[in-house]
Homo-oligomer: A and B are copies of this chain.
Amino acid sequence: MKKRNKLKIFNDPIYGFITIPSELIFDLLEHKYFQRLRRISQMGLSYLVYPGAHHTRFHHALGCMNLMQKSVNALRFKGVLISEEEEEALYIAILLHDIGHGPFSHAMEHSIVEEINHESISLMFMEAINKEFTGKLTLAIQIFKGEYHRNFLHQLISGQLDMDRLDYLKRDSFYTGVAEGNINSERLITMLTVVNDELVVEEKGVYSVEQFLLARRLMYWQVYLHKTGLVAENILIRVLKRAKELTESGMELQASPALAFFLKNKITKENFLEDELDTFSKLDDYDIISAMKEWSVCDDFVLSNLSRMIIERDLLKIKIKKKPFEKNKLAKHIKKITKDYEISEEEARYFVFSGSISNQAYHQNKQNINILYKNRKIADIVGATDQFNLKALSKPVTKHFICYPKQKD
């Protein structure tokens, strides 16, 4: 019962239209491994803070591909040669670069899928699909892995100014309504060129790059690390940990088969094979949220309370400071709720915890942004701007937080 949909254009609130450039791309979009991204929210639980932030990884992947089409046009206009095979490989690579994300992936990677990151799962998906498509993804995979001889193609997929960032910053700013985080992706693309096989930005684009770096920093602190989102994510981590713990201790929790598998089994790089990949492909936001809805009425005090907190958006209190919190502050809260709720200290630690978050707006050493001057010299953006403020952006900033229950009414 196969049906071929001839739809070749998507409406996009941001770019207007997204055109599917080829039949192969169309077939990849239709693959169930890609369709599952429709059920994975791009920003996890951020919609608890920004009610508009329900866009999906599916939509983001389409957006990236759209920007890649614009980049290919812009670079060719400047005389950079990109063959048709390379072009299609770029589209495939950017479309699939995030296919390995599970639901709420940051929380998952800190709880039930600890030993394997989404990048390596993306690669496994690509290779599995490549088999089905008889090798048509091989060049895309080479570029994705950085093994193709033309390095700038890889930089378009993964670099300081890759299409992933140019789309997600714009898209997340758009859907959250945090207009200050909006970046001018099209202008940045217009400023790109290639020198000695490296992606560089023309000099007149310096202010746009600065604005991009600062918008990114703003998005980190104001959106991605927003304290309400932060506490929600930390609760989710503890929900999943607790569920795994209870499962391991023999308790039968309601869960979809796919989620149950990951609660029951310890996953390592070695035992994550094709079967596991297929099970993983069945996991999405619906498994996690549905499970928490059930768990919020289960018998375990910890699991039910934490789950209900997310479902009813009735979260723990959070405080954030530049310096670490004193240990006895934590101890005081633990002592209090141990008594109030007659729970063990171990259980209490699920409701009282501290942590830290940090962000470095610009990594000069790891991956830098190079500017092409009118005199044809190339130099890192940090040296290029006046006022040195970008040097400051290279320093990581760390903040500390503590979470604990509100006073009992």
Range of interface residues on chain A?
35 or more
> Would you give the 0/1 interface string for A208-224, flagging 1 where the beta carbon is closer than 8 Å to chain B?
10110011011001100
Chain B: minimal CB distance from A262 (Å): 15
Task: Say which residue of B1, B208, B311 sits within 8 Å of A314 (CB atoms).
Answer: B1
Q: Identify which of A150-158, A172-180, A242-250 touches chain B.
A: A172-180
Is A187 engaged at the interface, CB distance under 8 Å to the other chain?
yes
Contact assessment for A286 and B282 in the assembled complex, using a CB-CB cutoff below 8 Å: no
Copies, count:
4
Which A residues between 296 and 351 are near B, CB-CB below 8 angstroms?
305, 309, 311-317, 322, 351
* In the complex, chain B residues whose CB is within 8 Å of the CB of A38: 47-48, 51, 313
**With A and B bound together, what is the CA distance between A389 and B59 in angstroms?**
35
Contact assessment for B289 and A177 in the assembled complex, using a CB-CB cutoff below 8 Å: no
Which A residues between 358 and 393 are near B, CB-CB below 8 angstroms?
361, 386-390, 392-393
Q: Identify which of A12-20, A84-92, A109-117 touches chain B.
A: A12-20
Which residue of B has the minimal Cβ distance to A397? B386
Contact assessment for B190 and A207 in the assembled complex, using a CB-CB cutoff below 8 Å: no
- Provided the pairs A30-B313, A282-B293, A392-B389 are in contact, do residues A405 and B51 lie with their beta carbons within 8 angstroms? no
Chain B: minimal CB distance from A248 (Å): 23
Task: Say which residue of B218, B309, B395 sits within 8 Å of A210 (CB atoms).
Answer: B218
- Provided the pairs A16-B186, A51-B12 are in contact, do residues A3 and B387 lie with their beta carbons within 8 angstroms? no
Which residue of B has the minimal Cβ distance to A41? B54
* In the complex, chain B residues whose CB is within 8 Å of the CB of A55: 52, 54
Chain B: minimal CB distance from A364 (Å): 14
Contact assessment for B56 and A54 in the assembled complex, using a CB-CB cutoff below 8 Å: yes
* In the complex, chain B residues whose CB is within 8 Å of the CB of A50: 10-11
Contact assessment for A317 and B3 in the assembled complex, using a CB-CB cutoff below 8 Å: yes
Chain B: minimal CB distance from A50 (Å): 5
* In the complex, chain B residues whose CB is within 8 Å of the CB of A314: 1-3, 30
Is A105 engaged at the interface, CB distance under 8 Å to the other chain?
no
Is A62 engaged at the interface, CB distance under 8 Å to the other chain?
yes
Is A149 engaged at the interface, CB distance under 8 Å to the other chain?
no
Which residue of B has the minimal Cβ distance to A318? B3
Is A290 engaged at the interface, CB distance under 8 Å to the other chain?
yes
Chain B: minimal CB distance from A190 (Å): 6
Which A residues between 75 and 99 are near B, CB-CB below 8 angstroms?
77
**With A and B bound together, what is the CA distance between A62 and B50 in angstroms?**
12
**With A and B bound together, what is the CA distance between A221 and B385 in angstroms?**
11
Chain B: minimal CB distance from A363 (Å): 14
Task: Say which residue of B30, B58, B179 sits within 8 Å of A187 (CB atoms).
Answer: B179
Q: Which of A32, A176, A290, A406 has the most CB of B within 10 A?
A: A290
Is A5 engaged at the interface, CB distance under 8 Å to the other chain?
yes
Contact assessment for B3 and A294 in the assembled complex, using a CB-CB cutoff below 8 Å: no
**With A and B bound together, what is the CA distance between A175 and B59 in angstroms?**
12
* In the complex, chain B residues whose CB is within 8 Å of the CB of A62: 51
Other CB < 8 Å A-B pairs besides A1-B408, A3-B316, A290-B290, 14 of them?
A3-B406, A5-B315, A11-B51, A13-B52, A16-B177, A16-B186, A30-B313, A30-B314, A179-B184, A211-B218, A282-B293, A387-B393, A388-B389, A389-B389
